[in-house]
């Protein structure tokens, strides 16, 4: 990672960013001015007059855009993308759990952490909500690499004490104590660039007591919560068998104090009307993971219907059931999913899901997710060849022309982030 730039510096190039009012801004001749890691100006090149007197780097025709935000991904699944071993529970048993057991070896975790970060940065992801493994040492190794590489993230020890291989199970008390140590070391690291999140894998893998302890810790320390819900019917049925006291899947989490405005629920395909209403009331966010849903045959979440309920939605790659680290691939899959359910999504809507809406889900939108004065200079330079003349044209290139377009440079707080392979 290059050191933060304290001087004022500027770029000239097409500028694409979501706006606070719900729209998306497109300046064919745009400019970005940064100082001390923050944005001083973002807008049309002509408007930069008086805000910067030094040299201006001309990056045209590369597009200046905020870094993408992935609200749901799995660090220990980096090396098993594409392993098609069945629907969710069979895939976890045959592909995921054997691989995650390898993360008990710290050197392996460190090596894969670099690969994981490289692959996100290559695709222009500057911020992510990450599931680690159930190993405290592997989670610590992940945080070390994120700290060193300059990314912004929320990450958590994955909680599992039942219905999974013994090699991955961590006892209730041990898991909570591990979380407490990781919170003390890493939560709010580097002015909140890194944060710790409470991370039950899903209700099936956690006992009632572990979920309750996790809920208390999340509320005492005001932490984000990330977990899965309603991904498949089989998972839902087995969850209610394991937690027979609950009325439905969401109720398992509600009773443990895990559903609130800091909660991110991944998938949410198979929820009842009551569960949707209670999710909306609690202010929880849904991490829509369409590529993963396609790959595992889990079903289709009805994006527009969820948003009409007033429920916040953002996008997740869900690597490795998601087959790419690219949030552009996630946006394209979300578009395909919307066609499957007969309610086509708009490109502007999808672009916001992968940027500002993701930042809001992770409660870091004051700092990132869009190019605005006062926010941190988290942005990418995206090569789409010759940008189209209109906003709709360039969004179509960004979302759907994945083969010819490429991320050329990635910045967080004004510092260019390097790949270990570069």
**DSSP state string for 241-307:** HHTTT-SSHHHHHHHTT--STTEEEEE--S--HHHHHHHHHHT-EEEE-HHHHHHHT-----HHHHH
Q: Are 238 and 211 in contact (CB under 8 A)?
A: no
What's the pLDDT tens digit per position in 137-155? Answer: 999 999 999 999 999 999 9
**For 9-66+369-416, CATH number?**
2.30.40.10
pLDDT classification of 285: cutoffs 50, 70, 90: very high
For CATH 2.30.40.10, list the domain ranges present in the chain: 9-66+369-416
Phi, psi dihedrals of residue 49, rounded to the nearest 5°: -55, 130
The rounded distance, in Å, linking the Cα atoms of 211 and 337 is 32
pLDDT at 4: 44
What is the spatial distance between Cα 256 and Cα 323, in angstroms, rounded to a whole number? 32
Q: Which residues contact 9 (CB under 8 A, 6 or more apart)?
A: 33, 34, 35, 52, 54, 57, 414
- What is the pairing mode between strands 415-416 and 406-412? antiparallel
What are the pLDDT digits (tens) for 351-395? Answer: 999 999 999 999 999 999 999 999 999 999 999 999 999 999 999
Across the range 277-291, mean pLDDT stands at 98
Question: Average pLDDT for residues 214-221, to the nearest whole number?
Answer: 98
pLDDT of residue 404: 75
Q: Is 5 helix (H, G, I), strand (E, B) or coil?
A: coil
Question: How many angstroms separate the CA atoms of 158 and 317, rounded?
Answer: 18
Tens digits of residue pLDDT in 300-345: 999 999 999 999 999 999 999 999 999 999 999 999 999 999 999 9
Q: Closest Cα to residue 5, out of 380, 376, 373, 383?
A: 376
Provide CATH 3.20.20.140 ranges for the chain: 68-361
Confidence at residue 421, expressed as pLDDT on a 0 to 100 scale? 55
Residue 1 has pLDDT above 70, yes or no: no
Task: For 85-127, write each residue's pLDDT tens digit.
Answer: 999 999 999 999 999 999 999 999 999 999 999 999 999 999 9
Give the pLDDT score at 173: 98
As its CATH architecture, domain 68-361 has: Alpha-Beta Barrel (3.20)
Q: What is the pLDDT of residue 21?
A: 84
**Interval 336-352: pLDDT, tens:** 999 999 999 999 999 99
pLDDT of 408 > 70? The answer is yes
Q: Mean pLDDT over all residues of the chain?
A: 96
Mean pLDDT calculated for residue range 224-248: 98
């Amino acid at each position: 990672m290059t050191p933060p730039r304290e001087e004022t510096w500027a770029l000239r190039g097409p500028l694409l960013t979501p706006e606070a009012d719900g729209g998306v801004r497109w300046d064919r001749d745009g400019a970005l001015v940064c100082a001390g890691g923050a944005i001083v100006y973002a807008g049309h090149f002509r408007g930069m007059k008086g805000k910067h007197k030094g040299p201006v780097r001309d990056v045209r025709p590369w597009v200046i855009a905020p870094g993408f935000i992935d609200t749901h991904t799995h660090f220990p699944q980096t090396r098993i993308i594409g392993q098609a071993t069945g629907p969710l529970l069979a895939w976890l048993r045959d592909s995921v759990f054997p691989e995650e057991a390898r993360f008990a070896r710290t050197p392996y975790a460190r090596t894969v952490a670099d690969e994981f970060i490289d692959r996100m940065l290559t695709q222009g992801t500057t911020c992510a909500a990450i599931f680690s493994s159930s190993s405290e040492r592997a989670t610590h190794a992940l945080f070390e690499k994120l700290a060193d590489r300059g990314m912004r993230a929320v990450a958590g020890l994955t909680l599992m004490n039942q219905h999974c291989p013994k090699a991955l199970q961590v006892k209730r008390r041990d898991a909570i104590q591990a979380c407490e140590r990781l919170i003390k070391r890493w939560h709010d690291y580097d002015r909140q660039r890194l944060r710790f999140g409470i991370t039950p894998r899903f209700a099936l893998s956690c006992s009632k007591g572990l979920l309750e302890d996790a809920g208390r810790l999340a509320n005492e320390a005001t932490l984000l919560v990330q977990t899965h819900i309603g991904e498949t019917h089989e998972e839902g049925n087995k969850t209610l068998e394991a937690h027979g006291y609950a009325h439905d899947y969401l109720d398992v989490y509600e009773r443990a104090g895990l559903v609130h405005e800091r909660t991110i629920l991944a998938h949410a395909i198979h929820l009842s009307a009551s569960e949707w209403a209670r999710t909306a009331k609690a202010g929880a966010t849904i991490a829509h993971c369409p590529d993963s849903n396609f790959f595992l045959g889990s079903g289709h979440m009805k994006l527009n219907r969820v948003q009409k309920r007033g429920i916040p939605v953002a996008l997740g790659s869900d690597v490795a059931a998601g087959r790419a680290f690219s949030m552009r691939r996630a946006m394209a899959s979300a578009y395909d999913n919307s066609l499957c359910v007969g309610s086509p999504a708009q490109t502007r809507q999808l672009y916001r899901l992968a940027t500002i809406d993701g930042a809001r889900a992770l409660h870091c939108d004051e700092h990132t997710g869009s190019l605005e004065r006062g926010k941190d200079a988290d942005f990418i330079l995206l090569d789409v060849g010759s940008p189209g003349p209109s906003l709709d044209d360039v969004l179509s290139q960004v979302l759907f022309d994945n083969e010819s377009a490429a991320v050329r440079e990635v910045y967080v707080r004004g510092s260019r982030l390097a790949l270990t392979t570069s």
